[in-house]
Amino acid sequence: MLILAIESSCDETSAAVIRDGVVVSNVVSSQIKLHAEYGGVVPELASREHLRGLIPVTQAALREANVTAMQLDALTATRGPGLPAALMIGLKAAQAMAFTLHKPFLGIHHHEAHLYSPWISGNPPRADFENLQPNVSLIVSGGHTMLVHVERELHHRVLGSTLDDAAGECFDKVGKLMGLPYPAGPEIDRLAEQGNAKAFDFPRPMLNDKNDDFSFAGLKTSVRYFLQKNPGLLDDSQTIRDLCASVQAAIVQVLVKKTIRATQRLGLQCVTASGGVTCNRSLRKELAAACTENGFTLRVAEKTLCTDNAAMIGILAERKLLAGDAGASLDAEIEPGWPLEQATSRA
């Protein structure tokens, strides 16, 4: 089966071609530089940029895959959740192509696609659904932080999610307080490498709560008050590194502990992780160490598939079509606030 997938839910315009479980091409055009000037994603600018980038990105994906639109068997796009005007551009373009080509169309839930991105690996990347084990999946990015129990393929249940800010948002907002450029996550990761994680003791929100939810707004606020009470801290570059390491340690500890605890409680043996924050080296290292200690298998999405991309949308769409999902929702509308529970079967 040959599928063209489009992703435009936030600030990445992406198109991918999938053939029989293999990612033949995956073109991603990131808008990070455009939004950096404003310290965060500006929805209106994002949709304008998607409009500008969608056709060249789609053409590049088809060209790289060496296929023509006429050869496609199906089309797919992210239907939600995401920024309404951004989603609209990718979804309507894919539906228009499907309509013109008389091919089936399937709208995909962005987070559901993240759940399976850790199972795509290799060169060229290939989906490894044959080895999929029941797992606890951590999705952690700038817009979402959640734990999901994946019982089996296409069957999952949300265990918990953030009650306020996402972990990536926390990295970005703390970085802004420290005068770091947007997005601050990668910069904090880099600076933390030479910092002392024990230098400052920041709160670990909800670490010991008996649920799988997260909360990161309080951590950001505590950093703000700490900086206000201690003016001049940011004048010293080593102190900045120590601050980065200390904040990162707090975020990573909460993410790792809560993921491991949920996996233990459910009696599972496998953990997966995806989303932009899984690029964080400390998170990867700590999660790997905790999984080894508990005898769990860990699958973290490859770096190019951690952040938003159309390949994961196409891979999931193919599995859904093969599983009998008829698609054909040519007039389906965007779902900016689509709850994951409503897109999937319950475990």
Residues that bind Zn ion (CB under 5 A): 141, 308
Between 222 and 307, CB nearer to ligand KG4: 307
Question: In 3D, which of 126, 231, 241, 135 has the Cα closest to residue 180?
Answer: 241
Between 90 and 143, CB nearer to ligand KG4: 143
Tell me how long the chain is. Answer: 347
At a CB cut-off of 8 Å and minimum separation 6, what does 307 contact?
A: 12, 28, 30, 141, 275, 276, 279
Q: Could you say whether residue 259 binds ligand KG4 (CB under 6 A)?
A: no
User: Which three-class secondary structure state does DSSP give residue 146?
Assistant: strand
Between 249 and 340, CB nearer to Zn ion: 340
**What is the nearest approach in angstroms of Zn ion to the Cβ of residue 28?**
12
Q: In this structure, is the dihedral angle defined by the CA atoms of residues 325, 329, 330 and 336, taken in order, positive or negative?
A: negative
Cα(9)–Cα(313) distance, integer angstroms: 11
Between 212 and 308, CB nearer to Zn ion: 308
Stretch that binds ligand KG4, among 71-79, 101-109, 269-277, 285-293 (CB under 6 A): 269-277
Q: Site mask, ligand KG4, residues 167-186, x = CB under 6 A?
A: -x--xx----------xxxx
Residue 256 binding partner per list ligand KG4, Zn ion, none, with a CB distance cut-off of 5 to 8 Å that depends on partner kind? none
Between 105 and 171, CB nearer to ligand KG4: 171
Stretch that binds ligand KG4, among 47-55, 91-99, 215-223, 270-278 (CB under 6 A): 270-278
Cβ-count burial of 288 within 10 angstroms (0-12 exposed, 13-18 middle, 19+ buried)? middle
195 bridge partner residues? none
Q: Which residue in the shown chain puts its C-beta closest to ligand KG4? A: 276
**What is the nearest approach in angstroms of ligand KG4 to the Cβ of residue 176?**
11
Between 193 and 341, CB nearer to ligand KG4: 193
* Angle subtended at Cα 67 by Cα 119 and Cα 132, rounded to the nearest 5 degrees: 10
Question: In 3D, which of 163, 118, 116 has the Cα closest to residue 144?
Answer: 163
Residues 184-223 that bind ligand KG4 (CB under 6 A): 184-186, 189
Residue 280 binding partner per list Zn ion, ligand KG4, none, with a CB distance cut-off of 5 to 8 Å that depends on partner kind? ligand KG4
Cα(145)–Cα(136) distance, integer angstroms: 13
